[in-house]
Structure 1
Amino acid sequence: MTTMQYFWRHPLAQEVRGQGVEQGKIEKSVEMTLSILRWRGIEVPDHVREQLTVWSERAVHATVADDLFAGPNG
């Protein structure tokens, strides 16, 4: 097995790939929500975009729905 093939099977590489997948899900979630609002003609200020990102990041790790609103920027 070459070094490069081994690297991609290493637990650290798998963890990094997993984080990339999670980040991709977050970005798609935010973009879909923003697209729906745009289609409906609703303007979205920057602070709302930031809040959507916070909620999407929390949604990836939430164990209950209330986790989305816990903490700062709830």
Structure 2
Amino acid sequence: MATINYFFRHEVAEKVREEGREEARAEERVKLILRTLDWRGIELSEADRERVRSCGDLGRLALWLDRCYEVTDAAGLFDGDGDGESA
């Protein structure tokens, strides 16, 4: 009996897979940011935690991840983002 390989290569399927990978990367960055801030003893309000959790912009999450190693308070994490939200 012949083996059937289901390597579905379709433009839509590829896009869905890539979106899934980006979501997974975003979720991992969110976890790292929150874990690092918790470990460092930087307190975040529930609103700030939700702001981090709801962010899907990989670039912004990368910036926040870099900042979370240096900030001394939650406001420092979001300084200069230019998104109109206050920390």
Q: Tell me the TM-score normalized by structure 1.
A: 0.63
| Residue 40 (structure 1) shift | 1.1
Deviations 1:38-69 (A, max 9, x none): 111223222112222344x22359xxxxxx54
AA aligned opposite 1:70 = D
**Secondary structure of 1:9's partner?**
coil
Does residue 30 (structure 1) correspond to residue 43 (structure 2)? The answer is no
- Unaligned residue ranges in structure 2 (runs of 5+): 61-80
The structure with the largest alpha-carbon Rg is: 2
Report the RMSD for the aligned CA atoms in angstroms: 2.7
> Where does 1:55-70 land on structure 2 (aligned, <5 Å)?
55=55, 57-60=56-59, 69-70=82-83
Q: Tell me the TM-score normalized by structure 2.
A: 0.55
| Residue 4 (structure 1) shift | 3.7
- Unaligned residue ranges in structure 1 (runs of 5+): 62-67
Larger RCO (CA within 8 A; separation ≥ 6): 2
CA distance in 2, matches of 1:51, 1:27: 13
CA contact (8 A) 2:30 2:52 kept: yes
Larger helix proportion of the pair: 1
Kindly report structure 1 stretches of 4+ aligned residues shifted beyond 6 Å: none
